[in-house]
Structure 1
C-alpha cells in the first residue's frame, strides 16, 4: 500500500472513532491533515528525476535530490562583513526570537538607530538601502556603510571611556574587566608552573649530584 493510501485510511478510521465516541478529543494533527491531504506526486517526482538525470548524467540520484542551498542577496554582505570583523561575533547579544523584519522596522537612511544596537546586521541593512535608493553598486554601498560603522564604533568607545572617567572622578569604583582578570589568571598559572619547574629541576640536579659523588668515591 502506498503512503498516501495509508494516510487516507488513518483519516477515515480516526473520523469513525471520533463519531462513535471511542476517541474523545480530536488529535492535534487531524485538522491539518484534512486541510492539506497528501498528494500523489510520485509520478511528477519521477519525471523530474529523469529530467535531472538527462541534464546531469554524471550525478547520482542522491546528489540530484539534495536540497538546494537557500542564499539571499544580503548573505553575501553578512559573509564578507563577519569574515573581515570576526570579533563582532563575540559581542554580547540579546538572544531572543526575531522576525527578520529589521529592514521594515527601522529607517536605514542612517546607520545609527534609536531602538537597535549597532552590529553587523546594521551594516547589512544600510548597505541594501544604499544599493536600492542611491543606485550604488553593492561593493560601493558596503564600503560606505562600513566606514559609517567604524565612525559609530569610535564614537561609542569615546562615550564609554568619558563616562567611566567622570564616574571615577566622583568616586565610583569599577571591578576588573574580563581581560584584566584573564591576564592575572594567566600570570598566576605561569608563576605556579615556574615554581614547579624549578622544584623539579633542583630534585633532578641533587640526584645527579649524588650519583656523581658515588662514582667519584669508587
Structure 2
C-alpha cells in the first residue's frame, strides 16, 4: 500500500472513531491533514522536473535526478593532510563512532588539547578555526596548523623517549613492540619457507637423477 493511501485510511478510521465517541477530542494532526492532504511522490517528482527544465533547458532528466554531492569544507583539508602524512593512519585508535562535534567540544585557538590525542583531525579543526577567526586563506591556515603539528609530534617523541630511558634506569623491562614481534614472525615464516623449498628441490633433484640413471641403463641394454 502506498503511503498516501495509508494516510487517507488513517483519517477515515479516526473520523469514524470520533463520530462513534470511541475517541474523544480530535488529534492535533487531524485538521491539518484534512486541510492539506498529502500528494503522491510521482506528482512531486513531475513538478520538480518541470521546474528544473525551465531553469536548465539543456539538462537531461538523468542529470536532473542525479544526487547532489555533499562536500564539507574540512573534506579537502582532511584529504590533503592524510595524502601528505599516510603513516598517521597507522596510529592505533579507539574504534568508536565519532559525533563530529570536536569543533564544539574543544578550544581550537591552540592545537594541543587536554582531553584529545593529537591526530589529523586536530589539524583539520585548527585550520578551520584559523580560517574563521583570523580570516586566513585555507592554504595559509593549513600551513600554520601543520607546523604546529610537527612541533607537538617532536615534543611527544622526546617525552616518550625520556620516560622510557628513566624507566630503564630504574630497572624497568619492556616487552617487544608489535613491529618487532611482526618482524620476528615474518623471519620465522621465511625460514620455514626456505626449509620447505630446499626439501622440495632435493626431492625433485633425486627424481631427475633416478630418471637419468634409468635412461642410461636402457641405452646400455640397447647397445
Number of residue-to-residue matches in the alignment: 208
Alpha-carbon spacing, 1:188–1:200, altered in 2? closer, same or farther (3 Å): same
1:83 aligns with: 83
Normalising by structure 2, we get a TM-score of 0.79
Once residues 178 and 99 of structure 2 are traced to their aligned partners in structure 1, the CA distance between those partners, rounded to angstroms, is 32
Moved over 6 A (4+): 14-19, 31-34
Once residues 3 and 28 of structure 2 are traced to their aligned partners in structure 1, the CA distance between those partners, rounded to angstroms, is 17
1:146 aligns with: 146
Q: Which has the larger Rg?
A: 2
CA RMSD of aligned residues (A): 3.1
Cα deviation for residue 142 of structure 1 reads 0.3
Structure 1, unmatched stretches of 5+, are 22-30
Once residues 211 and 161 of structure 1 are traced to their aligned partners in structure 2, the CA distance between those partners, rounded to angstroms, is 63
Normalising by structure 1, we get a TM-score of 0.81
Alpha-carbon spacing, 1:205–1:85, altered in 2? closer, same or farther (3 Å): same
1:137 is aligned to 2:123? no
Once residues 29 and 115 of structure 2 are traced to their aligned partners in structure 1, the CA distance between those partners, rounded to angstroms, is 42
1:119 aligns with: 119
1:106 is aligned to 2:125? no
Once residues 88 and 12 of structure 1 are traced to their aligned partners in structure 2, the CA distance between those partners, rounded to angstroms, is 61
* 1:8-52 per-position Cα deviation (integer Å, ceiling 9, x unaligned): 31355378689859xxxxxxxxx9987x96732754532221232
Alpha-carbon spacing, 1:161–1:198, altered in 2? closer, same or farther (3 Å): same
1:39 aligns with: 38
* 1:118-151 per-position Cα deviation (integer Å, ceiling 9, x unaligned): 1111101111111122221110110110111111
Q: Please give the residue correspondences for 1:1-218 in structure 2 after superposition, counting only pairs within 5 Å.
A: 3-10=3-10, 12-13=12-13, 39-40=38-39, 42=41, 43-54=43-54, 55=56, 57-59=58-60, 61-217=61-217, 218=220
Structure 2, unmatched stretches of 5+, are none
